[in-house]
Amino acid sequence: MDAALTPPAGRIEVRRRSTWSRGLRAVGRWRLLSFGALLILGYVFVALIGPELAPYEPNATHPQATLQEPSPAFRFGTDKFGRDIFSRVLYATRLDLSIAFSVAVSAFLVGAMVGGLSGYFGGVVDDLVMRLVDVLLAFPAFILAMALTGILGDTIPNVILAISIAYVPYFIRLTRGEMLRVRTMQYADAAVGVGNPRWRVVLVHLLPNSLTPAFIQLTLVLGWAILDAAGLAFLGLGITPPTAEWGVMVAEGAQRIITGEWWTWLFPGLAIVIIAFAFSIVGDGLRDLLAREER
């Protein structure tokens, strides 16, 4: 082989190291993504069968065992009413995950549909939709959800509706941006050229190819929705006592921080932190994988 065509040995070593480093980073991302997915599956499993595993009813009181530390009888201890915190955390898992999935799916469906149609047809409707989105995005999602919950009232459906409205603009903007990109591609022109009506072009050919960023946002919104629902309950909005909900339990336990009953807030707080962390790393992992595929 001609020496001029042979790359220097140092360059080969750099390429090998670069390949190994990329491989190690990919393995690390997969491990983190898998770890987050396993955590989420564990929570889903608890949500499905947790109430059957709970040793007590969530609102059952034990006056002789108020504020008792974790023990074999009460694994996570009891609160000021003698309610078993372990049972309440298990029951709250189903409620909080139900709220999170309801919020994320509702915001995703509405936002994707509105954003897709707005991006494809454009014009005055697109301008009006985007101005409304700009107005809503001017407020932090939690602040907007808090205001809407205060207006709508303290019920679980109202909490779901308020948080969903707060996150719809994110999905509208993401899907609209992707629709603006895919509507100029050749397969979009081909779909129109063979005689498909415009609604079919949007819903069948273009919208499914515009949803990848929205799907990633969906995983992140799941974690944010849990934090928002718990935050609203902590502030006394939305879900109120004696409902077994993580935010309600943390709010009740926060009153005991100074007196030393740490178990009253620690275990529901850990439940919130772990599931929010799991959704976050899954969303980040999916985003990294998407970026790598695009490269």
Contacts of 64 (CB under 8 A, 6+ apart): 82
User: What CATH number is given to the structural domain containing 124?
Assistant: 1.10.3720.10
Percent pLDDT > 70 in the chain is: 88
Q: What is the mean pLDDT of the chain?
A: 86
How buried is 150 (Cβ within 10 angstroms: 0-12 exposed, 13-18 middle, 19+ buried)? Answer: middle
Residue pair 35/281 in contact by the 8 Å Cβ criterion: yes
Contacts of 242 (CB under 8 A, 6+ apart): 59, 248
How buried is 166 (Cβ within 10 angstroms: 0-12 exposed, 13-18 middle, 19+ buried)? Answer: buried
How many Cα atoms sit within 13 Å of 167 on the Cβ side?
Answer: 30
| Distances 17 to 115, 158, 160, 174, 291 between C-alpha atoms, Å | 43, 54, 49, 36, 21
Q: Provide the 8-state DSSP code for 201.
A: I
161 pLDDT above the threshold of 90: yes
User: In this predicted structure, what is the pLDDT of residue 259?
Assistant: 86
Which residue, among 212, 177, 215, 185, has the nearest Cα to 201 in the 3D structure?
185
As given in the structure block, the two tokens for residue 171 are 């999905």
As given in the structure block, the two tokens for residue 159 are 């909490």
Contacts of 285 (CB under 8 A, 6+ apart): 29, 30, 32, 33, 36
Alpha carbon 35 to chain centroid, angstroms: 16
How many domains does the chain contain in total? 1
pLDDT tens for each residue of 9-68: 555 454 444 554 554 455 556 788 889 999 999 999 999 998 888 999 999 999 999 999
pLDDT tens for each residue of 53-82: 899 999 999 999 999 999 999 999 999 999
Residue pair 152/158 in contact by the 8 Å Cβ criterion: yes
Q: Tokens 């850990």 correspond to what residue?
A: 270
Range of the domain at 20: 3-294
Model pTM? 0.85
